[in-house]
């Protein structure tokens, strides 16, 4: 299943693509995708159900929203690609390194990503994110796949100047509207081999990052096992799995996002997240 959340006439709507690729408004059957989403309502949708739902013209919606409108947790893994650890002159960590983002730091597809007047050091980080469908605590890695609802694109953009003010990444990661997520969430049953998922980041037509989940230091099951030892995961939680090499901060000289540029995070076969920089 491929689903998204959009705003139409001031209201959030949940959209699912039918077998012919037409976007259907299923809000009346499933509700809007929020924290504690009931994924069984989506799994129960039949082709007949979808064909009874109205088609939405995606060219006429007000805007795209994050796939989960108000996730309870947005957890991000740092230094989780071997090549990114190398470009940062760091050894791969012995344990997953986490930081958090607030929902206010993220916008949806085609919404402007905003540079702060406090710094000109907004950097790109293209990532693959997982969305939790079934919550739990102390989840074993071997059981983790049962808890993954789906995959989407995530721009974990960072204001490097503020990120480097201390040893914690929180400040640099949480400027309002500095990152993005979406637009489509593809459910895990549609992904034959999650480790084969690729992520590509583009500035305009120039590819600046490329990675594949098989190159993670800590794979998705290990990440879920680790994080669920210290917090109870709930449906709708987002876990961004890390960014590959190619960030602007490590270029010589450093290169940051500029007004008017277009940032694209492409996960082939899953989704393509596009934002203009403002």
What is the per-residue pLDDT across 189-237, written as a single tens digit (0 to 9) for each? 999 999 999 999 999 999 999 999 999 999 999 999 999 999 999 999 9
Bridge partners of 238?
74, 131
pLDDT above 90: residue 188: yes
Q: Does the pLDDT value for residue 34 go beyond 90? A: yes
Cross-strand pairs, 266: 200, 272
Element (H, E) at 179: strand 179-187
The 10s digit of each residue's pLDDT in 225-260 is 999 999 999 999 999 999 999 999 999 999 999 999
Q: What does the pLDDT read at residue 171? A: 96
What percent of the chain stands above pLDDT 90?
93
pLDDT surpasses 90 at 180: yes
CATH topology of domain 72-276: Fumarylacetoacetate hydrolase; domain 2 (3.90.850)
pLDDT in tens, 76-116: 999 999 888 788 787 888 999 999 999 999 999 999 999 99
This prediction has a pTM of: 0.96
Average pLDDT, the chain: 97
Kindly indicate the confidence band of residue 167, based on its pLDDT and cuts at 50, 70 and 90.
Answer: confident
Q: What is the pLDDT of residues 114-127, one digit of tens each?
A: 999 999 999 999 99
Residue 142's pLDDT is what?
A: 98
> How far apart, in whole angstroms, are the C-alpha atoms of residue 148 and residue 238?
10
Do residues 195 and 223 lie in contact, with contact meaning Cβ atoms separated by under 8 Å? no
Backbone φ and ψ of 42, nearest 5°: -75, -40
Distance CA 17, CA 197 (A): 21
Domain ranges of the chain: 2-64, 72-276
C-alpha distance from residue 47 to each of 14, 43, 44 (Å): 16, 11, 10
């Amino acid at each position: 299943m491929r689903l998204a959340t959009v705003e139409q006439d001031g209201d959030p709507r949940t959209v699912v693509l039918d077998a012919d690729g037409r976007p259907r408004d299923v809000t009346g059957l499933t509700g809007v995708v929020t924290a504690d989403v009931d994924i069984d309502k989506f799994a129960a949708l039949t082709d007949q159900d979808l064909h009874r739902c109205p088609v939405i013209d995606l060219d006429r919606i007000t805007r795209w929203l994050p796939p989960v409108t108000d996730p309870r947790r947005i957890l991000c893994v740092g230094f989780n690609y071997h090549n990114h650890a190398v470009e940062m002159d760091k050894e791969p960590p012995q344990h997953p390194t986490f930081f958090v983002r607030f929902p206010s730091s993220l916008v949806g597809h085609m919404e402007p990503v905003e540079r702060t007047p406090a710094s000109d050091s907004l950097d790109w980080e293209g990532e693959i994110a997982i969305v939790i469908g079934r919550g739990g605590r102390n989840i074993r890695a071997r059981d983790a796949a049962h808890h993954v609802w789906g995959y989407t694109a995530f721009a974990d953009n960072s204001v490097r100047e503020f990120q480097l003010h201390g040893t914690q990444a929180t400040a640099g990661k949480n400027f309002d509207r500095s990152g993005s997520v979406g637009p489509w969430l593809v459910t895990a049953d549609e992904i034959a081999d999650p480790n084969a998922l690729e992520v590509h980041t583009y500035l305009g037509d120039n590819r600046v990052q490329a990675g594949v989940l098989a190159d993670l230091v800590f794979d998705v099951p290990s990440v879920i096992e680790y994080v669920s030892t210290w917090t109870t995961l709930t449906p709708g939680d987002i876990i961004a799995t890390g960014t590959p090499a190619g960030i602007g901060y490590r270029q010589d000289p450093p290169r940051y996002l500029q007004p008017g540029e277009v940032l694209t995070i492409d996960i082939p076969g899953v989704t393509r997240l596009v934002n203009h920089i403002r």
